[in-house]
Structure 1
Amino acid sequence: MPSDLAKKKAAKKKEAAKARQRSKKPEDVNEENDQAEPQQNGADSNGVANLTKELDEFELKKTEARAVTGVLASHPNSTDVHISSLSLTFHGQELLSDTSLELNSGRRYGLIGLNGTGKSMLLSAIGNREVPIPEHIDIYHLTREMAPSDKTALQCVMEVDEQRIMLEKEAERLAHEDSECEKLMELYERLEELDADKAQMRASRILHGLGFSPAMQQKKLRDFSGGWRMRVALASSFHQTLHAAAGRTDQPPGPGRLCVRILVLISHSQDFLNGVCTNIIHLHQRKLKYYTGNYDQYVKTREELEENQMKRFNWEQDQIAHMKNYIARFGHGSAKLARQAQSKEKTLQKMVASGLTEKVVNDKTLSFYFPPCGKIPPPVIMVQNVSFKYSDNTVIRDRLGHPGGSGGAQRSGQIHVTQHLTEQLELDLSPLEYMMKCFPEIKEKEEMRKIIGRYGLTGKQQVSPIRNLSDGQKCRVCFAWLAWQNPHMLFLDEPTNHLDIETIDALAEAVNEFEGGMMLVSHDFRLIQQVAQEIWVCEKQTITKWNRDILAYKEHLKSKIEKQAHDI
C-alpha cells in the first residue's frame, strides 16, 4: 500500500498537470490537433505555419532566458492574486525589480508602458505559470491571431474544448465494448455536465457576437485576413474559458463559475483602454504602479500625483540646500550658532534616513524623422477598375482608398509597411548590423547609431540581436529602415499594432512633416485624427469617401453596432 506521503505527492503531481493543461493558450491546443490531423494547405498557409512554429520555438527560448521570482502573498484559495517581491529578468536585463503584482477579482486591467519595458514578457511569464499563481486559478494567454489553415472558423473554436473532445473519443471507443457499460454511462454523465451537445451552438454564438455570419463561420481560416483570424483566436479563448469553467469539479455549480474573473490586456489604443478597463497598471522604472479607472482617469490622476510629488521634491531640496548652507557657514562659529548648526545637521540626517522624495522621471519622448523626398508632379497614383480577392472572396471592385474593417484591401507602393513587416527582419542581426547591411553607403557606425537612436533604440538595444527585442522595438527598427529608403509615398498598413502611445504620437508628428504622400490603413482613431486629411471607408466591395471627421465616423460605427446588437 502506498504511504500517505506518496499519495499526497501523486495527487499534487496530478493537480499540477491539470493546471498546466488549463493554462494552455488556444493556439497550443490547435497545434496539437494539427499534429493529429495533417492538413493540405497551400504554400501561403505552410509559410505562415512554419512562421508560427518558429515563433513558438522563439517563445520557448525566451522562457529559457527568462528568470522570475516572487512570493504568493494572497490566501492560497483566494480568487484574487497578490504576488510580492516580484522580479523579472531577460538575458540578464532587469525588467521588474522587487515590485508587487496585484490583480483583484472582477477587475479589468490595462497594462501600459513604453516599448521594451517588459509588458509582454510579464504576461508570458504569467501565462506559463512562472509566477506563483495558485493552481485553482485558470490562466488563458492570447498572444496572436490563428494561423491560416483548411479548418473552418467554427471548427477552430470548437477544437479548443479539449476535455469534451477527449471524452467524446473515449465514449466512442467504449461504445463498442459491452464490458465497459458502466464506465460509458459515467462518460455520458460527464458530457452532460459539460453540455457537450450545446458546444457548437455556444461556439457559433460567440463567433456571431464577433461579427461572423453563418457563412463566414464555415469559411476556411486561410481565406481570412489577419484581423479576422485574431477574432477567431478571441472566440477560441472565450469558448475555452466557458468550457473549462463548466468542467471544473472543484467549484460549486452555477453561473458564477462561468465568468472571467480577472482580465489583463496590453493595448496602446486609448479608445479601447477607455472603453474596457476598470484599472490601469503602469510599468515604469521596473515597478508596477496601479491606478483606478480607465486610461483618461489614469492620465489625470498621474498628472496630479506627479505635480504633488515634484512640489514635495522641490520643497525638500530647498530645505536641504538651506540647512547645508547654514551648517557650512556657522558650524564652526560661536557656541550658540554651532549648536544650531548641529541641530540642523541632525534634522538633515533624519530626512535622508526616512527617505527623500524622488524626482519625477518622465517617459522618454521621441522625434521620428522622414528625410525630404522632393516634389513629384501629380497625379502620383491613379487606379481604376481594381479588384482584390482573398481566395474566392471578392473584397473590392472599385477605386483605391481606405480605412475599413478587418480584411480591407491593401496595395503595394514605393514603401509598404504591413502588419507583419517585423517578420522580414533578420533576427540574428542587431539593429546596428541590420541597418549597416541595408545601407552600406553609411560607413561610420557612430553615424548609424545616431540614425537608429532617433527611433528610440539606444545603448544595448542597438547591439542586441533583433530577436531579443520587444515587438514594439522591432517596429522601431522597421521605421528606421523605412525612413532611410527615402520614399515619395508611404503605404502604412496598421503601423501602430505594437507601438506605445508616445511612439504613435511621434509617428503622427513625423507623418505630418513628411513632404511626400501617405495612405494609412488603421483602426487607431487617435492616429487617424492626427494625420488624415481625407478619410475613405472600405465596405460592401466598394470604397466611398467619408466627408466628416473620424470622430463622426466613430459615432456612426457605434450606432451601427448598437443597432445590430438590438436586432439580434
Structure 2
Amino acid sequence: MPSDLAKKKAAKKKEAAKSRQAGTKKTDEFNGENDQPESQENGADSNGEMSENALKRVASLTKELDEFELKKLDARAVTGVLASHPNSTDVHIASLSLTFHGQELLTDTSLELNSGRRYGLLGLNGTGKSMLLSAIGHREIPIPEHIDIYHLTREMAPSDKTALQCVMEVDEERIQLEKEAERLAAEDSECEKLMELYERLEELDADKAEVRASRILHGLGFSAAMQQKKLKDFSGGWRMRVALARALFIKPFMLLLDEPTNHLDLDACVWLEEELASFRRILVLISHSQDFLNGVCTNIIHLHQKKLKYFTGNYDQYVKTREELEENQMKRFNWEQDQISHMKNYIARFGHGSAKLARQAQSKEKTLQKMVASGLTERVVDDKTLSFYFPSCGKIPPPVIMVQNVSFKYSDNQPHIYKNLEFGIDLDTRVALVGPNGAGKSTLLKLLMGELLPTDGMIRKHSHVKIGRYHQHLTEQLELDLSPLEYMMKCYPEIKEKEEMRKIIGRYGLTGKQQVSPIRNLSDGQKCRVCFAWLAWQNPHMLFLDEPTNHLDIETIDALADAINDYEGGMMLVSHDFRLIQQVAEEIWVCEKQTITKWNRDILAYKEHLKSKIDKQAHDI
C-alpha cells in the first residue's frame, strides 16, 4: 500500500468515482414497495414517466450517497501485503488489518480467495463484513490489476436507456479485456488468466450478447416488455435488479455481492441461486439466507474476533465442522486448565518441602512455563446471542380483521391487483405471503393497514386493534444524528429512566457504545434492530412483517423467529427467506393472478415447485 496518506486518499476517491455506476446498497426514498406499478412507486406521472422533480430527488440522493461513501473511505484504514504471485488467479493477502473511525474490525489476519471458489462471508451485524467487501471493491487491499472486480452496491441511475441496453453496455469492458489480453500475449504468457480473457471476449460477442442479457433479465423477473422499458420508469428495487443483471452479464473475475436477494422475490431468489451455483471465478457473498448459502457456496469465511476463519463446504457443512472444532477446542482447553491447576497446587504444597519434593515442584514449574510459552488453547467464545421480545399485547375477540369481497387497482386505466378477496385474520394467524413481484403482497398489507382503500368491497377491523408494520424503508424514519438511546427516549417519553431504556434496547442486540453512538455510524443491520425495538414497544396486536430479514445476520433472524413464535398476537409475513418462513408460518398463501390461494404443502415444496417452473421456462426459451 502507498505510504503517502494524501496519495492514498486521492486514489480512494478516484476508485470511488469509478465505482459509482455500481454504488451503494441504499435505495431512493420513494421506491415504494416492489409490487406496486412503477408509476406508483417512483414519483412517475400517470403515463408512467418519472417527473422532473422525482429525477431531481434521485440526483440529489445519489450525490448525498456518493459524499457519504467518500467520507467512509476517509474514515477507513487498511493495511495488507500481497502474498500470492502477482500473475496468479488466486489472491492471498497477509497481515490484513482494517479500521473504521479508529475501531479495529480486522487485526493481522489473512484473506485467501481462490479461483473457482464461491465464498459466503459470515459474521454478526457490525463486525465489518460490508466494510471488508467495500475495501476489496475499492482496491484498498493490494489485489493485482489483472483481476477485475465488480462490487454490486447500488441500483442503476434513472436514464432513457432500456433495461436491456443497460445490461448490454459492454463496449468499455470489451476494450479493457482486449488491451489486457494483448498485454499478456505480448509477454508470451501462458497463464490461466489469458485463457479466461479469451473466453470472456467470446462471450461478449454482439451476436450472443442480446440473448444472454435477455435470459438474465428474464430470470430476475423482467418480462419482454419490461426489458424494453426505460430505466427512469423503474423503481429503485427494479433498477437494483438491472445492476445485478449487469454484474452477472459482465462476469468479472471477482464478483462481490452484499445481500443480493434483498430486492428479489422467491422466484428470482431461486433463479439467482441456480445462476450463481455455476459461477466459475471468485465470488464473495454476504447473505442472511442459510438456504441461499447452502445452494451457492463452496466455502465459508467466518469473521469472528477480528479474524477471518476459513471452512470448506456450504453453510450446513460449516455449522457441523465448526461445532466439531469447538468441541475439540473446549476439550483441549479443559484438559490444559486441569493440568495447570494440578501443577500450581503441587508447586504451592511442596515447593518448600523436602529436597526431593522441591525438585519435583521445580520440574512442574518449568513444565508449566513451557506450556504457557508455547501458547495455551483459548476458551471458545460463542457469537453473542440475543433474544428479541414482543411485549404481551392482550386479547381482543375475533374477528380481528375481515376482508369482504375486496377488489383493488391503483387507477382506472390499470389492471386489478386483486379481485373479490374474502378472508379473515385473528390473533392466532401465522401466514406467509408468497408470489412473484407485482402480484400484490405488500399492497395487501397496506390495504389491511388502511394505507390504501379498496376499489370495491370492505375491510372491517376491530375498533381496538393495533397493527405494527415493518418494511424495508422503516430505517429512513430514523433520525441519524441521534443515538438509539436518544431516539427511543424521544419516541417513548413515558419511559423516564435511561437505564430502563438501555435494557429495552439491549434486548435487540444493541449494547454499550452502540446505544450512544449516532445512528448514522451504525451498520444497516444495527439500524434495523433500532426499528425492531421501536416497533415492539408500540405493543401491536398484529405484526405485518414485509421483508424483515434484510440486513440482519443469521443469529438475529433466529432470535426474531423465536420472538415471533412466543408472540401472543397475529402475524403476516412477506419474506424471501425460506428458512424464516419454515420457522414461523403455519399457513402459506400464494398471491398470484389477482387472487390469493392457500398452498397446502410446506415452503420447501413451494421452492421445488418454483425450481420446476424455472427449468420449464428455460427449456421453453
Query: TM-score if structure 1 supplies the norm length?
Result: 0.78
Instruction: Tell me: CA distance 1:63–1:13, structure 2 relative to 1, closer, same or farther (3 Å).
Output: closer
Q: Is the partner of 2:144 in helix, strand or coil?
A: coil
* 8 Å CA contact retained: 1:95, 1:286: yes
Q: In the alignment, what sits opposite 2:342?
A: 322
Return the alpha-carbon distance in structure 2 between the equivalents of residues 272 and 517 of structure 1: 28
Mean alpha-carbon deviation: is it higher for 552-561 or for 284-293?
552-561
Alpha-carbon offset, residue 383 of structure 1: 2.7
Q: In the alignment, what sits opposite 1:353?
A: 373
Measured against aligned partners, the alpha-carbon deviations of 1:23-74 in whole angstroms (never above 9, x if no partner) come to: 9999999999999999998469999554343333222211111111111111
Alpha-carbon offset, residue 172 of structure 1: 25
* 8 Å CA contact retained: 1:414, 1:488: no
Q: Is the partner of 2:403 in helix, strand or coil?
A: coil
Instruction: Tell me: CA distance 1:26–1:79, structure 2 relative to 1, closer, same or farther (3 Å).
Output: farther
Instruction: Tell me: CA distance 1:356–1:197, structure 2 relative to 1, closer, same or farther (3 Å).
Output: same
Measured against aligned partners, the alpha-carbon deviations of 1:304-336 in whole angstroms (never above 9, x if no partner) come to: 100000000000000000000000000000000
* 8 Å CA contact retained: 2:16, 2:70: no
Q: Is the partner of 2:159 in helix, strand or coil?
A: coil
Instruction: Tell me: CA distance 1:97–1:501, structure 2 relative to 1, closer, same or farther (3 Å).
Output: same
Mean alpha-carbon deviation: is it higher for 481-490 or for 190-199?
190-199
Mean alpha-carbon deviation: is it higher for 294-303 or for 195-204?
195-204
Alpha-carbon offset, residue 209 of structure 1: 3.5
Mean alpha-carbon deviation: is it higher for 224-233 or for 435-444?
224-233
* 8 Å CA contact retained: 1:367, 1:455: yes
Mean alpha-carbon deviation: is it higher for 462-471 or for 308-317?
462-471
Q: Is the partner of 1:135 in helix, strand or coil?
A: coil
Among the aligned pairs, what percent are the same residue?
A: 91
Alpha-carbon offset, residue 424 of structure 1: 2.1
Return the alpha-carbon distance in structure 2 between the equivalents of residues 86 and 458 of structure 1: 27
Return the alpha-carbon distance in structure 1 between the equivalents of residues 301 and 3 of structure 2: 47
Alpha-carbon offset, residue 225 of structure 1: 5.8
Alpha-carbon offset, residue 223 of structure 1: 5.4
* 8 Å CA contact retained: 1:403, 1:535: no
Alpha-carbon offset, residue 213 of structure 1: 2.4
Alpha-carbon offset, residue 212 of structure 1: 2.4
Q: In the alignment, what sits opposite 1:472?
A: 525
Q: In the alignment, what sits opposite 2:551?
A: 498
Instruction: Tell me: CA distance 1:174–1:85, structure 2 relative to 1, closer, same or farther (3 Å).
Output: closer
Kindly indicate whether residue 195 of structure 2 is the aligned counterpart of residue 185 of structure 1: yes
Instruction: Tell me: CA distance 1:35–1:72, structure 2 relative to 1, closer, same or farther (3 Å).
Output: farther
Instruction: Tell me: CA distance 1:34–1:551, structure 2 relative to 1, closer, same or farther (3 Å).
Output: closer
Mean alpha-carbon deviation: is it higher for 552-561 or for 512-521?
552-561
Instruction: Tell me: CA distance 1:355–1:563, structure 2 relative to 1, closer, same or farther (3 Å).
Output: same
Alpha-carbon offset, residue 284 of structure 1: 0.4
Return the alpha-carbon distance in structure 1 between the equivalents of residues 33 and 175 of structure 2: 12
* 8 Å CA contact retained: 1:401, 1:536: yes
Alpha-carbon offset, residue 367 of structure 1: 0.8
2:470 counterpart (412, 415, 421): 415
Alpha-carbon offset, residue 282 of structure 1: 0.3
Measured against aligned partners, the alpha-carbon deviations of 1:345-365 in whole angstroms (never above 9, x if no partner) come to: 000000000000000000111
Measured against aligned partners, the alpha-carbon deviations of 1:94-115 in whole angstroms (never above 9, x if no partner) come to: 1001000000011000001111
Instruction: Tell me: CA distance 1:132–1:481, structure 2 relative to 1, closer, same or farther (3 Å).
Output: same
Q: In the alignment, what sits opposite 1:372?
A: 392
Q: Is the partner of 1:178 in helix, strand or coil?
A: coil
* 8 Å CA contact retained: 1:472, 1:500: yes
Structure 1 residues not aligned, in runs of 5+: 236-249, 253-258, 408-412
Instruction: Tell me: CA distance 1:149–1:291, structure 2 relative to 1, closer, same or farther (3 Å).
Output: same
Measured against aligned partners, the alpha-carbon deviations of 1:504-557 in whole angstroms (never above 9, x if no partner) come to: 111111111112211110011111111112111112232211122212212222
* 8 Å CA contact retained: 1:331, 1:341: yes
Alpha-carbon offset, residue 486 of structure 1: 1.2
Q: In the alignment, what sits opposite 1:562?
A: 615
Instruction: Tell me: CA distance 1:36–1:80, structure 2 relative to 1, closer, same or farther (3 Å).
Output: farther
Instruction: Tell me: CA distance 1:222–1:399, structure 2 relative to 1, closer, same or farther (3 Å).
Output: farther
Return the alpha-carbon distance in structure 2 between the equivalents of residues 172 and 76 of structure 1: 18
Instruction: Tell me: CA distance 1:63–1:43, structure 2 relative to 1, closer, same or farther (3 Å).
Output: farther
Query: TM-score if structure 2 supplies the norm length?
Result: 0.72
Return the alpha-carbon distance in structure 1 between the equivalents of residues 344 and 191 of structure 2: 89
Return the alpha-carbon distance in structure 1 between the equivalents of residues 226 and 161 of structure 2: 12
Q: Is the partner of 1:356 in helix, strand or coil?
A: coil
Instruction: Tell me: CA distance 1:353–1:99, structure 2 relative to 1, closer, same or farther (3 Å).
Output: same
- The correspondence of residues 421-500 of structure 1 with structure 2, limited to 5 A, is 421-500=474-553
Mean alpha-carbon deviation: is it higher for 209-218 or for 261-270?
209-218
Q: Is the partner of 1:426 in helix, strand or coil?
A: coil
Mean alpha-carbon deviation: is it higher for 530-539 or for 143-152?
143-152
Alpha-carbon offset, residue 164 of structure 1: 6.6
Mean alpha-carbon deviation: is it higher for 181-190 or for 78-87?
181-190
**RMSD of the TM alignment (CA)?**
8.7
Measured against aligned partners, the alpha-carbon deviations of 1:263-302 in whole angstroms (never above 9, x if no partner) come to: 0000010111000000000000000000000000000000
Measured against aligned partners, the alpha-carbon deviations of 1:81-104 in whole angstroms (never above 9, x if no partner) come to: 101110111111110010000000
Instruction: Tell me: CA distance 1:76–1:32, structure 2 relative to 1, closer, same or farther (3 Å).
Output: farther
Mean alpha-carbon deviation: is it higher for 508-517 or for 325-334?
508-517
Return the alpha-carbon distance in structure 1 between the equivalents of residues 336 and 490 of structure 2: 51
* 8 Å CA contact retained: 1:384, 1:399: no
Return the alpha-carbon distance in structure 2 between the equivalents of residues 171 and 28 of structure 1: 42
Instruction: Tell me: CA distance 1:334–1:4, structure 2 relative to 1, closer, same or farther (3 Å).
Output: closer
* 8 Å CA contact retained: 1:115, 1:473: yes
Mean alpha-carbon deviation: is it higher for 373-382 or for 474-483?
373-382
Alpha-carbon offset, residue 204 of structure 1: 2.0
* 8 Å CA contact retained: 1:16, 1:135: no
Instruction: Tell me: CA distance 1:225–1:561, structure 2 relative to 1, closer, same or farther (3 Å).
Output: farther
Return the alpha-carbon distance in structure 1 between the equivalents of residues 583 and 189 of structure 2: 71
Return the alpha-carbon distance in structure 2 between the equivalents of residues 119 and 483 of structure 1: 27
Instruction: Tell me: CA distance 1:159–1:42, structure 2 relative to 1, closer, same or farther (3 Å).
Output: farther
